[in-house]
Amino acid sequence: MDWAYILGSVIVMTVLGLSVGNFATSLTYRLPRGLKIANDPPYCDSCRKYLETRDMFPFFSWVINRARCRFCGEPVPALYAFVELGCALWFNVTWFAFWPDAVDAYLLSLSLGVFVITLISLHVAEKRLFAVIVVLIAGLGGVWRALFDFGIMNAVISAYLGLMAGVVVWLIRSAIARAKQPFPTYAILLAVCALCAGRGQLVPLLALSMLATLALWLVGRKSASVRGSEGIIGMCLALLWLMLFPGFGKTLPSECSKVLCEENKGCQLVTVTDCHR
């Protein structure tokens, strides 16, 4: 890889990631309010003025306008800038992890990650999960696992085990509180994360989730926006990390058969060790 390729990739992926991140922030704002996702030009929430072109550059406008609306001076939440930066980072990381050897894995991990980041930002803003995002992640996660496991059973069993792990935590918490707690949203998200990660990555998923949650709890204690979302963000971060090593979750042997054709010998079935290259 030469430097021009790396630099060009970083610039293109950052621009694309910031733009998609901008769409994710728009989802964060509009979905809970029941507003139209498209068709409506972006405007300031406080003064209702439509934004001009110079206000619409993701992240950069936020920095140049010093995190405030240029018209009324109301603060623009830092969450939006974080989401845009997060998407830009994800675009870069997946590009260098999968392109050009596994284009399908690249496209899937890209869209999965964007929805996982949207789920985080929606939970930070609204403190609840949105069914449409959860269903999208579960659907994409199913395709993602099918791509690596050559079947769907691994994902289904993994999701079931993840759900059961969530239920056990729920029962323990109910026992400690000596009163039945409402069924927790983290159990549902854990099932979806487990579905995406696969059975082979279930233990790392649980361990990483707990570590990330603990770290967020320690660091984010004073931040009102992080409080109450630590477990959800922790789980999502663990999933994003594991998504960069998807083969690790495979339950089938890493060998598979491929038809290999040579000019003079004809075609034959051979065993290859890396099925995705």
Chain contacts with Zn ion (rule: CB under 5 A): 44, 46-47, 69, 71-72
Distance CA 223, CA 245 (A): 31
Which is closer to Zn ion, CB of 74 or CB of 104? 74
Which tokens sit at 257?
């058969």
Is residue 142 within 8 A of residue 152, CB to CB? The reply is yes
Write down the least CB distance from residue 30 to Zn ion, Å: 17
Contacts of 206 (CB under 8 A, 6+ apart): 165
Write down the least CB distance from residue 40 to Zn ion, Å: 16
Q: What are phi and psi of 22, to 5 degrees?
A: -60, -40
Give kind and range of the element (H or E) at residue 164: helix 153-177
| CA angle (90, 53, 8) in 5-degree steps | 40
Which tokens sit at 78?
């830092």
Neighbours of 63 (CB within 10 A): 10
Write down the least CB distance from residue 143 to Zn ion, Å: 41
Which is closer to Zn ion, CB of 42 or CB of 220? 42
Write down the least CB distance from residue 48 to Zn ion, Å: 8
Contacts of 63 (CB under 8 A, 6+ apart): 81
Write down the least CB distance from residue 67 to Zn ion, Å: 12
Q: CA-based diameter of the chain, in Å? A: 75
Which is closer to Zn ion, CB of 32 or CB of 73? 73
Which is closer to Zn ion, CB of 46 or CB of 111? 46
Write down the least CB distance from residue 26 to Zn ion, Å: 16
Which is closer to Zn ion, CB of 69 or CB of 195? 69
Which is closer to Zn ion, CB of 68 or CB of 276? 68
